[in-house]
């Protein structure tokens, strides 16, 4: 009986301390931007950010769950508290910093490139150009002579290039190179890659200092011990 009581007391204490450390963190992502994040055939979030995010949660001791959300409402739903963090290939920009805060970047600024049908020349870069709405690419295009057409998902944007609805699309080079490799030569890069991104970070509520400090430290550690580079090489060769 005595043993049982002690055992119970220990169990209660153990669960008590575990509770204190384990904050549940819901991570929101788009699930439509391979290799950053996508939904695999098991219906699970997969990709570079899934692997990195899970590792960060393991290091910080948070209990993480993944949630998918439409790109266009991904920031409003974060500030409304539907989830606690965004890992969705989101570039750190000043405009976004007005709404949310970011951790340090976990991926250096990714170049953006123009995608067009084969045989296109550089004139398409100033023609009708597609971009995903609310992205750095769409705000970049808005300041160029090109006519900007916005699409809600990267998939729709690529489809518009394929069927000639637009002359070209501007998007993250890593995303586009997969698309180009598997297009059987129908799609090509046009022009030189642009350096318009400051790097990709995790988006957090401005009031959430606890998460920012924890994740910042964890990302720093992965960066220093080279683990982050291994992941980057694996997903972005």
Partner 1 sequence: MCYLTTVKHSMFYWSFGIVLALLALTAPAALLLGFLGAMAKRSQVAVVRWIGSIYTSMVRGIPDIIFFMFVPIALGQGIEYVRHKIKCPDVTEPIRQGNDFVVCAAAKFPLGSADQWVHQTYGFALATVAFAFVFGAFVANTIDGAMRAVPANQLETGHAYGMTRRQVFWRILVPQMWSYALPGLSNLWQILIKATPLLFLLGVQDVVYWARELGGSKTSRYEYPHGDWRLWYFMVLLVFYLLMTWGSEKVFRRLSTRFARGQATQAGQQHLEAKA
Give the footprint of partner 1 on this chain (CB under 8 A). Answer: 23-26, 31-32, 34-35, 38-44, 46-47, 63, 65, 67-70, 77, 79-82, 84, 99-100, 153, 155, 158-159, 162, 178-179, 181-182, 205-208
Is the separation of the CB atoms in 120 and 168 below 8 Å? yes
Tokens of 219: 């990302």
Nearer to partner 1, 75 or 218 (CB): 75
In the complex, what is the shortest distance from the CB of residue 152 to partner 1, in angstroms, rounded to a whole number?
A: 10
Nearer to partner 1, 38 or 215 (CB): 38
| CA distance to 66, 116, 154, 228, per residue, from 204 (Å) | 15, 35, 23, 20
- Beta partners for 187? 117
In the complex, what is the shortest distance from the CB of residue 217 to partner 1, in angstroms, rounded to a whole number?
A: 21
Tokens of 38: 């996508």
Nearer to partner 1, 29 or 69 (CB): 69
Nearer to partner 1, 58 or 70 (CB): 70
To the nearest 10°, report the CA torsion of 21, 63, 91, 68.
-150
CA gap 68, 66 in Å, rounded: 7
Is the separation of the CB atoms in 125 and 114 below 8 Å? yes
In the complex, what is the shortest distance from the CB of residue 235 to partner 1, in angstroms, rounded to a whole number?
A: 9
| CA distance to 21, 53, 58, 134, per residue, from 62 (Å) | 7, 11, 7, 30
In the complex, what is the shortest distance from the CB of residue 33 to partner 1, in angstroms, rounded to a whole number?
A: 11
In the complex, what is the shortest distance from the CB of residue 76 to partner 1, in angstroms, rounded to a whole number?
A: 9
DSSP 166: S
Nearer to partner 1, 94 or 182 (CB): 182
């Amino acid at each position: 009986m005595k043993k049982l009581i002690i055992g119970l007391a220990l169990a209660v204490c153990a669960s008590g301390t575990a509770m204190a450390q384990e904050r549940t963190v819901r991570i929101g992502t788009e699930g439509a931007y391979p290799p950053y994040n996508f939904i695999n055939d098991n219906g699970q979030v997969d990709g570079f950010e899934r692997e990195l995010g899970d590792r960060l949660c393991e290091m910080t001791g948070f209990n993480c769950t993944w949630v998918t959300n439409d790109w266009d409402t991904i920031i409003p739903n974060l500030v409304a508290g539907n989830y606690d963090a965004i890992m969705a290939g989101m570039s750190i920009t000043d405009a976004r910093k007005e709404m949310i805060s970011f951790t340090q970047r976990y991926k250096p600024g990714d170049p953006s490139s123009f995608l067009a049908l084969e045989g296109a020349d550089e004139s398409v870069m100033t023609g009708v150009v597609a971009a995903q709405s609310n992205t750095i690419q769409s705000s970049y295009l808005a300041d160029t002579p090109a006519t900007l057409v916005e699409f809600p998902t990267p998939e729709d944007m690529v489809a518009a290039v394929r069927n000639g609805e637009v002359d070209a699309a501007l998007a993250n080079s890593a995303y586009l190179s997969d698309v180009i490799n598997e297009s059987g030569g129908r799609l090509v890069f046009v022009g030189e890659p642009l350096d318009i991104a400051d790097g990709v970070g995790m988006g957090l509520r401005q009031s959430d200092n606890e998460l920012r400090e924890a994740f910042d430290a964890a990302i720093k550690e992965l960066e220093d011990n080279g683990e982050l580079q291994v992941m980057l090489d694996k997903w972005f060769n």
